[in-house]
Amino acid sequence: MRIAILSRNPKLHSIRRLKYEASQLNMECQVIDPLACQLVIRGKESQVVVKNRPLPTFDAILPRIGASITDYGLCVVRHFEMQKVLIMNGSRAIAESRDKMRSLQVLTEAGLLVPASVLTRNTQSLRTAVEAVQGLPAVLKILRGTQGVGVMLVHSPISLGSVLDTLRTLDQDVIIQQFIVEGAGRDYRAFVIGDRVVAAMVRTAPQGEFRSNIHRGGTAQVVKLSKKFEQTAVRAAKILGLQIAGVDLMESHEGPMVIEVNSSPGFEGIEKATGINVAQAIVKHMKSAIRKRK
Ligand SMILES: Nc1ncnc2c1ncn2[C@@H]1O[C@H](COP(=O)(O)OP(=O)(O)O)[C@@H](O)[C@H]1O
Ligand SMILES: [Mg+2]
């Protein structure tokens, strides 16, 4: 079996782990830089060319597309889809989960609980927006932020207006979102592969911070999720069409709320916190998907 990982950086912890686990399972694994891929369409033919050579055929491809190269990266993934290669995750699923508003639309439409949210470019009807998210303080999020950057808490109508004006000038669309007071400072990360949660951790924000991202100083601990949390995480991944997903959830009065779904979840933190071999679970999942297909 021959698989490929699409990644800019073969030295990343997750990529090195995946390569190692693939070799343990006797799978050939090549890391391809998506930005090195030249995409050719000619008549009914399509080809991916790297260094002047067409790529060999792979049994499966694992895209690890970072936020900074989303557009080109998605085009590369889409090209492999044209060649009917098994891909986890697909381009549409990645695109849909990366956009914070779009993913909330899809999740809420499917009946999952998400925080009340407003997307607006207009600062005239802010009163209605604030009412819709159950008042202040409220959370502001730029559409494509990651690692907690681009997520803010605003306490007054004056700061809300001025922050929105500022972001508008910077050409950033923003979501105004209900602040989940009861669960603040803590979120749950469920690592979903296929139709199950393989590992889960709870992340706690440092003192004086509401964002629990590890990159913002949050700390992680292994956790046993309740059935309800597990089912919500698996459903969220499924609805977005993701085979591999990092689903972030918060506890609310109404039950588990989905905060966001990551299509290229890292696993250094979760492997450390839980002692679970996530990389091996991913590679095994790919292997069985390839078998099923053959
Ligand atoms: N609506 C909310 N209410 C309270 N805390 C939130 C809310 N949304 C996000 N957070 C906190 O902020 C962190 C970052 O938000 P998130 O939407 O996951 O953005 P990012 O993609 O940057 O991680 C979350 O992990 C959570 O701790
Ligand atoms: Mg997050």
- Per-residue pLDDT tens for 35-70? 999 999 999 889 999 999 999 999 999 999 877 778
Residue 166: how many CB atoms within 10 A of its CB?
11
Say yes or no: 225 and 247 in one domain.
yes
Q: Which pLDDT does position 199 carry in this prediction? A: 98
Return the bridge partners of 4, or none.
30, 61
**Dihedral in degrees, nearest 10, Cα atoms 90, 151, 211, 193:** 0
With a 6 Å cutoff on the Cβ, whether 187 touches ligand 1 is yes
- Per-residue pLDDT tens for 165-221? 999 999 999 999 999 999 999 999 999 999 999 999 999 999 999 999 999 999 999
Protein residue with its CA nearest to atom 11 in ligand 1? 211
Q: Which pLDDT does position 294 carry in this prediction? A: 86
With a 6 Å cutoff on the Cβ, whether 213 touches ligand 1 is yes
> Looking at residue 151, which CATH number applies to its domain?
3.30.1490.20
Say yes or no: 105 and 243 in one domain.
yes
With a 6 Å cutoff on the Cβ, whether 146 touches ligand 1 is yes
Domain count for the chain: 3
Report the predicted TM-score, pTM, of the whole model to 2 decimal places: 0.96
With a 6 Å cutoff on the Cβ, whether 147 touches ligand 1 is yes
Q: Would you say the C-alpha torsion 124, 130, 136, 138 has a positive or negative sign?
A: negative
| Residue 50 contacts residue 87 (beta carbons within 8 Å) | no
Return the bridge partners of 29, or none.
3
Q: The domain containing residue 270 runs over which residues?
A: 96-112+182-283
Q: Which atom of ligand 1 is nearest to the CA of 187?
A: 27
Q: Would you place residue 155 in the very low, low, confident or very high pLDDT band (cuts 50, 70, 90)?
A: very high
pLDDT at position 144 over 90: no
CA of 292 to the centre of ligand 1 (A): 37
What percent of the chain stands above pLDDT 70?
100
With a 6 Å cutoff on the Cβ, whether 179 touches ligand 1 is yes
The reply to whether 229 falls in a domain is: yes
| Burial tier of 187 (Cβ tally within 10 Å: 0-12, 13-18, 19+) | buried
Say yes or no: 72 and 198 in one domain.
no
Q: Which pLDDT does position 18 carry in this prediction? A: 97
- Per-residue pLDDT tens for 78-114? 999 999 899 999 999 999 999 999 999 999 999 999 9
Token digits of residue 66: 């970072």
Say yes or no: 84 and 172 in one domain.
no
What percent of the chain stands above pLDDT 90?
93
The reply to whether 288 falls in a domain is: no
Protein residue with its CA nearest to atom 5 in ligand 1? 184
